[in-house]
Structure 1
Amino acid sequence: MSFALSQTPKYPQLPSETPATVNIPVDLADYSRRTVMIPMRDGVRLNTIIVVPKTATPNHKAGIVLTRTPYSAEALTTNAQSTHLGSSLYGYDNATDVIVQGGYIRVIQDIRGKYGSEGDYVMNRPFLGPLNPTPVDHATDTYDTIDWLIKNVPESNQKVGIIGISYDGFTTLAALVNPHPALKVAVPMNPMVDGWRGDDWFHNGAFRQQNMSYIYEQDGSRANGYKWPTSNWDDYAMFMRAGSAEALAKERGLDQMGFWRKVLAHPAYDEFWQDQAVDKILAAQYAKQPPTFPIMLVHSLWDAEDIYGAMAVYKAIKPLDKNNMVSLTIGPWHHGGAIDDGTTLGQLKLPADPSYWWRQTVLGPYLASYLQDTPPANPKPIPPVTAYQTGANKWQGVPYWPLAKKTTKLYLHADGLLSLNEPTAAEVPSTAYVSDPAKPVPYRPRPSRTAGYEPDNGWANWLAQSQIEQSGRTDVAVFTSDVLTAPIAVAGEPIANLIAATSGTDSDWVVKLIDVYPDEVPGDPHMGGYQLMIAADIFRGRYRESLSTPHAIPANTPETYRFNLPNAYHVFIPGHRIMVQVQSSWFPLYDRNPQTFVPSIFLAQPSDYRPATQTIFHSTTQPTFIELPTLTNP
């Protein structure tokens, strides 16, 4: 039986009070907002929002500041309650004060496959080549977008700058590959560059499993509509209960997502990852034709997400910069902190606001020099490197990076000592601890939440959290110097030279360089005894011989593990001490190493996870030390 719906209302209806459309009076706001679908060369149209300040007119043209994002152009440009341009732009990727003060046209575009844009989404879409046989990538999409903008925005002065953080930093770098002639300046901030070496997906082979929820939501739908199924307030408990990362993926349905299947198929640094590394791509391009327009790379010293990318690109392309187009900023920030409040870094207090100072003193004049028809008169030159020296807490303009030309070896000793002196024959030659996969070392105090920026999450600043809790664990080897009587200034990448053995056949090694504050800090009691990580990273032991081909570790045999820690620009001041911590898990940020060699740790079974005795050697013939790039005059 079926029933037909009556076309005539059964009861009398009141007239609707809701209009078909709502138009904000055009004279009320100090800007206009346009939404357009810009066609790409393959016919796909990309949703683009153009925000034009009323100071920009066809007779008084302005430069364009472009960002290409997977995070919703609509959300980043819409504040229906505001009639002011500055308040209409939300924080992420919007250096709002600089954009408003510069009078720029703000353009934010959804990348293909996300939110209002057409086309298929591919995570960090590879550039044209073996991994992408199509005619389009982020470089061509940026080129086509800029070409359309300069022809169709009458208020434009034909000068375009591109800026972006994180994923949007990756798309900013993509614009540098065969760039459009109207692109005059680029500011890639904390960009995703190499997902295996040290950005979002792996660090030196160890999988960053707390990004599984990001993959689920980013890959799951055009508008991130499918949310990661939660079951625990504490991620530590959730990952432990599931076992391996792949077991959790199957449990939560992550295996439906195409990018997860790629990650699962490529645990080593094979051609899949190597061919996508943006630093390698740009180095190959600039070896043929050096940069022809200015590029400012922005790096955050406590970046919990993309601490590798900006410095890797700088290292790759600066030697090819024949025209002095490439500059660098190194700031005391978390991921994206340059456009955030910079007065604190977690519990660490910083004088003034380093973020605001940088935006007003460096970023603003830098963009104005290349995007405004009449740049500021007598602008102060931007130094090749603008770097904030923590410890001394001051901005400095320096000529190059790394600044240090001297290497100082910091040796591990028996009885938990650390010094600039080599070990002696009289010392106990090694220190041992037991690493138990059933009780991995937390990377931050529990409960640890999924990576994100909710106010109560704590994710953004975890790299600056005190390591005092970890220093009391029996599965963390701790080495501490005497109280310093003279400053030691680090300016570059510390290098871990670890000689270690494991009773297992695989192992992870985490090395942390730490500034230990005095037991009491006058005027700031919460910093008493604080253990601030200055540089820290993880290395998966199976890749000690080859990053692309894993090898089992011979049990109970000393092996050398040499790997770079992230860049530091820091002064260990008198009255402080230096600490090095060594451990074999950093959970649940990184998946547990079963400590039994298996072809893929993603597929490790419960029986593969076994305790192992880890031995750190510090003898005259087998010294473990940290190479510190130090300044002669701190």
Structure 2
Amino acid sequence: MKIKILLALIFVNLMHAQKLYFPKTAVADSTVLEKQIPLLATKLMAQPQLQKLKKTNRLAFTDNLYRLQILAGEYKKSVATLSDYRKEFADHNMAGNKFIVHEFYSLAKLNEEKDKIPFPEALQKAFNKKYESLSDQLTAKVGIAVDGDVRDSKRIMTEALNKQKDKDSIDYASALALCKSYLNYKTYSRLKPQITQLVAAKDQEKFIIETKDIKTKNGNTLTITIVRKKENTSPLPVILTNNIYAGEIDLYFGKRAAVYNYVGAVVNTRGKRTSNDENNPFEHESQDIYEVIDWVSKQPWSNGKVGMIGGSYLGFSQWAAVKKLHPALKTIVPQVAVGIGIDYPAQNNIFMSYMLQWIQYVTNNKLTDEAGFNNFAQWESVFSEWYKSGKSFRSLDTISGKPSKIFQRWLDHPGYDEYWQKMVPYKEDFANINIPVLTTTGYYDDDQIGAMSYFKSHHLYNKNANHYLVIGPYNHGGAQSFGFTSVSGTTIDPVARISIDDLAFSWFDYTLKDGKKPALLKDRINFQVMSTNTWKHAPTLEKMHNSTVKFYLQDHKNAPSVFKQPSGKSFVTQTVDFKNRDQKETYHKVSKIDSVKTTNSVYFESEILDKDLIMSGNPGGFFNVSINKKDFDTEMSLYQIQPDGKTFLLSTHMVRASYAKDNEKRQLLTPGKTEQIPIKNSIFMSKKIVKGSKLVLLVGVNKNPNWQINYGSGKDVSDETIKDSGEPLEIKWYNDSYVEIPIYQE
């Protein structure tokens, strides 16, 4: 008993030791706050939690360290840390990060101290020196790199401060969050106005920038921004981007094309900037882009050739553009393209809660509602409120406080019907697409399923499709910018750290200027095999692998091998109570150091692998199940448990069972009858799975605030409520079900 008390006292003392002094007066008094933040930052740098990160997560350690050094006034050290950061984590191209604004601040403070000059003058000097050291490709990105949202950064800082009301101490995590939010607000609010002016002055020196309206035949207005290098006086090919995310990014997209010696043209969708038309995302792109291409191809600065580029919605836009192909459009480079109706706003026919957040992001004003979109705590609260209420998914927009016609219209089309089909090429439409295409996506890309669906359809309906694919360990941002050093906590191979911009514009040189084909494109499929530091190349998706392994729904402890067909038929029963909204998360310990989340899932584990395997492709197979309802939404996750005990997510799959065989037509299940659910449109991955690993398979049911909940009544899922759930869902997972894993063997 005495030992327990002693341990408890030690624990309390340790917890108390983690608290740092931070006076409550700093919450309301900005003068006190300004004095206390440097002291707090200095204390944080000495904390064991930060030093531990140096060994366990160097990316997070370095990111935290340079920020704390700035706040502590250690400007010279912060610049050195940032330099190391870029060298080690491949952020030298500023793709998607805001670090350069912090560097400008440190450099300006050093100039201010050294030269005894006012801060604005010191900042201009720092800006000019840094700007001149950058390549043309990087100078084009400076504007968006410093385009932080001042109001949102202030909101985040205020929220962090409010948590400290009436407190004179602060814990490590809260202190770190406060310091980082304070730095963002301080740098963006103080630097952004001046740097924006400095960038604009540089742009005037280098570019001819025009913004004008285009009137369509139907009387709609579209705003277009054209950017040309002053030194390029002859007509050039035009690189067009169709952008719903109107804002500073428009100018960047234009400059990006111009610095590669093209004309950059960026057109905004209906309802954005000066357009007073109704903003209905996705619906009018095919028609509008055709007219925009016609216009730009006839301008004096155009040589009549047009290419298109862009990611996500901008990637979708290119497929919309080739629904009706304009003769001047010579090539497209769709990156991480949204598969409208396929992976967004529903993935395999399951609508996502995020769709409402996105709709408001792009329709709340003439640009984008950054503050509303990035208020993740508020959106999490909305999704949680809906989930706990048991109301229909159709009520989500009302719960958010802003009813949406777009949201409701999308829900009216749960199958891949004519509404979605008319927006992009459909089936035989792909046979008419005879221009060269370069698709880029990633193993961690949120729109991988969409990007791959276009690629597969193009090759299915056009046997001569001149369509190349580059896929590697990239997330949604990386596959349209730069292969970072680390993705989702995983360090990627050096060979994968390529510039997607350089690849794309080398492709444009090849297709629009008779240049050489990019060296990476050795075959139609070009994929990076993780953990091997190599790229491989194949003529078709099927040739990415040369064999398969079937993982049956059985545990190796009760069968000779999960990879061998069961000798007899059996099943595992799973019960899911949809009425339980206070369900605790469950986890399965897979090693001494790691676990996998098993909430609403059944767990299957393989024996230890006695040889290396290379998984290349996406899993297939099918589930044999019987349920006591008419429908349910399945989830599947395939993990590698590495020899060191760490987990690695290889692939996932989710689908509405009633649409699994045909995403256009719903086919309800018969309660009590054994049904077969095919596994299609799962996530692609290419990775070496080393000897000594195990594979873990989780199969289960989708039930969480981020997605529709299918109660299985057979009604339109968007209209179902918790009252439709009835008795708990009971699933029998039969052991002759299997997930077929694509394997490449040397």
Distance 1:67 1:290, change over 3 A: closer
Distance 1:486 1:375, change over 3 A: same
Distance 1:118 1:161, change over 3 A: farther
What is aligned with 1:37? Answer: 213
Query: Aligned pair 1:583/2:710, yes or no?
Result: no
Deviations 1:104-160 (A, max 9, x none): 2222110122233353322211xxxxxxxxxxx423422322232233343x33332
Q: Secondary structure at the match of 1:142?
A: helix
TM-score with structure 2 setting the length: 0.65
What is aligned with 2:230? Answer: 54
What is aligned with 1:455? Answer: none
* Residue number among 379, 396, 405 corresponding to 1:248 in the alignment: 396
Q: Secondary structure at the match of 1:301?
A: strand
Tell me which amino acid in the other structure corresponds to 1:402. E
Structure 2 contact 289–321 (Cα < 8 Å) conserved: yes
What is aligned with 1:81? Answer: none
**Structure 2 CA distance, aligned partners of 1:33 and 1:177?**
30
Q: Cα offset for 1:441? A: 11
What is aligned with 1:146? Answer: 293
Distance 1:141 1:378, change over 3 A: closer
Query: Aligned pair 1:535/2:637, yes or no?
Result: no
What is aligned with 1:600? Answer: 716
* Residue number among 156, 160, 166 corresponding to 2:306 in the alignment: 160
Structure 2 contact 325–433 (Cα < 8 Å) conserved: no
Q: Cα offset for 1:55? A: 2.9
Structure 1 contact 441–586 (Cα < 8 Å) conserved: no
Q: Cα offset for 1:551? A: 5.1
**Structure 2 CA distance, aligned partners of 1:529 and 1:512?**
16
* Residue number among 87, 99, 105 corresponding to 2:263 in the alignment: 105
What is aligned with 1:11? Answer: none
Distance 1:117 1:597, change over 3 A: same
Residues 349-388 of structure 1: pairs in structure 2 closer than 5 A: 349-352=491-494, 354-360=496-502, 362-372=503-513, 375=515, 382-388=522-528
What is aligned with 2:539? Answer: 399
Q: Secondary structure at the match of 2:508?
A: helix
TM-score with structure 1 setting the length: 0.75
Q: Cα offset for 1:43? A: 3.3
Query: Aligned pair 1:294/2:436, yes or no?
Result: yes
Deviations 1:153-195 (A, max 9, x none): 43x3333210111111111112223333322221011212341
Q: Cα offset for 1:409? A: 1.9
What is aligned with 2:128? Answer: none
Structure 2 contact 661–678 (Cα < 8 Å) conserved: no
What is aligned with 1:202? Answer: 346
**Structure 2 CA distance, aligned partners of 1:588 and 1:341?**
31
What is aligned with 2:566? Answer: 423
**Structure 1 CA distance, aligned partners of 2:308 and 2:527?**
22
What is aligned with 2:627? Answer: 502
What is aligned with 2:677? Answer: 561
Deviations 1:185-214 (A, max 9, x none): 21011212341x3x1121232221222221
Q: Cα offset for 1:616? A: 1.3
What is aligned with 1:189? Answer: 335
Identity of aligned residues (%): 21
Structure 2 contact 382–400 (Cα < 8 Å) conserved: no
Deviations 1:5-41 (A, max 9, x none): xxxxxxxxxxxxxxxxx99668963222111112322
What is aligned with 1:460? Answer: none
What is aligned with 2:73? Answer: none
Q: Secondary structure at the match of 1:108?
A: strand
Q: Secondary structure at the match of 1:510?
A: strand
Q: Choose 1 or 2 for highest CA Rg.
A: 2
Residues 439-518 of structure 1: pairs in structure 2 closer than 5 A: 468-471=595-598, 473=599, 475-518=600-643
- Greater helix content: 2
**Structure 2 CA distance, aligned partners of 1:57 and 1:265?**
51
Structure 1 contact 572–578 (Cα < 8 Å) conserved: no
Deviations 1:47-77 (A, max 9, x none): 111111233113xx433221001110x4214
**Structure 2 CA distance, aligned partners of 1:441 and 1:536?**
25
**Structure 1 CA distance, aligned partners of 2:400 and 2:663?**
30
Distance 1:317 1:508, change over 3 A: same
**Structure 2 CA distance, aligned partners of 1:259 and 1:76?**
25
Matched length: 534
Structure 1 residue runs of 5 or longer lacking an equivalent are 1-21, 79-88, 126-136, 447-465, 521-527
Structure 1 contact 416–478 (Cα < 8 Å) conserved: no
Tell me which amino acid in the other structure corresponds to 1:590. W
Structure 2 contact 627–671 (Cα < 8 Å) conserved: yes
CA RMSD of aligned residues (A): 3.4
Structure 1 contact 242–248 (Cα < 8 Å) conserved: no
Distance 1:442 1:560, change over 3 A: farther
Distance 1:442 1:190, change over 3 A: farther
Tell me which amino acid in the other structure corresponds to 2:576. S
**Structure 2 CA distance, aligned partners of 1:106 and 1:140?**
21
Tell me which amino acid in the other structure corresponds to 1:146. I
Q: Cα offset for 1:375? A: 3.2
Distance 1:365 1:323, change over 3 A: same
Distance 1:377 1:210, change over 3 A: closer
Distance 1:119 1:390, change over 3 A: same
Structure 1 contact 70–167 (Cα < 8 Å) conserved: yes
Structure 1 contact 290–320 (Cα < 8 Å) conserved: no
Structure 1 contact 236–587 (Cα < 8 Å) conserved: no
Structure 2 contact 383–396 (Cα < 8 Å) conserved: no
Structure 2 residue runs of 5 or longer lacking an equivalent are 1-196, 588-592
Structure 1 contact 494–568 (Cα < 8 Å) conserved: no
Structure 2 contact 485–492 (Cα < 8 Å) conserved: yes
If asked which structure has higher relative contact order (CA below 8 Å, sep 6+), I would say: 1
Query: Aligned pair 1:626/2:739, yes or no?
Result: yes
Structure 1 contact 192–309 (Cα < 8 Å) conserved: yes
Distance 1:445 1:278, change over 3 A: farther
